[in-house]
Structure 1
Amino acid sequence: MKPRPIRRAVTALCVAFSLSACGMGGMWMNGDPSVGRTLVPPRDTWQKAGNDGATRNADWLGCGGAANGGYHVSTPEGSSAAAIQQAMGRTFDDLQRCMLGQGYRYTGSCEGDIRSRYPACQSPGTKKPGGQ
């Protein structure tokens, strides 16, 4: 019995689709990128001598941070991705300035082009890449 042309076409299409990464999971084809990394909320990258976690959390909330250790940004509905990104950057910079103003020291990473420009990374008490 000869295979039908439609059956061959469907089989060929299925084989081609299964061998390509397009549509089969995108960036997840190589696994979850956060696996093996410890994700720390921004609140937990601040230290102050004599302070405990509860005090730091209260100070974080007082600076406008969220209860989960992150932060929220409000933008008008329909805002562009660029406008949302700018609002997030401003909010995060404001949180950093507030925490620095309360005497906290930033313990997060300052490596990379973006992070090196954080207000916290410009602070004299912050360890810079290369131990500076």
Structure 2
Amino acid sequence: MKRRIVCTVAAALLLSGCLLEGAAPVERNPKPYSAYWIKEGVTKESVLADWIQCGGGANGNYGYEIQQGQSNKEFFDGLIAHTNRVDTCMKGKGYVELYPRLR
């Protein structure tokens, strides 16, 4: 009986994700992509303004959405081209990517 209760509690914790979070913390409030670009002496507002000017979204993400009738390949090809344009523009403005992605 005792073993059954322990197994039930362990299963409930495992299924709820409580035990898994200890292994790899879950980021509850992920930062927008613009937050990973840094430049000496620049405010968050200036970074976001430059980000938008480079083609990024007003929320700090890349702002690329799938279009109706677009295939997966077309979407991902467009997304890659768009992110590369935004990244190149940010680098051109003197920003450095905090955690550069492999390309």
TM-score (norm 1): 0.55
Q: How does 1:47-86 map to 2 (within 5 A)?
A: 47-73=38-64, 76-86=67-77
Distance 2:65 2:30 in 1: 23
Higher relative contact order (Cα pairs below 8 Å, separated by 6+ residues) = 2
Which residue matches 2:102? 116
Q: CA-atom RMSD, angstroms?
A: 2.5
Structure 1 stretches of 5 or more lacking a match?
A: 1-28, 118-132
Distance 2:74 2:87 in 1: 20
TM-aligned CA deviation for residue 40 of structure 1: 1.9
* Alpha-carbon distance change, 74 to 68 in structure 1, aligned in 2, over 3 angstroms: closer
Distance 2:68 2:97 in 1: 33
TM-score (norm 2): 0.69
More helix by proportion, 1 or 2? 2
Identity %, equivalent residues: 29
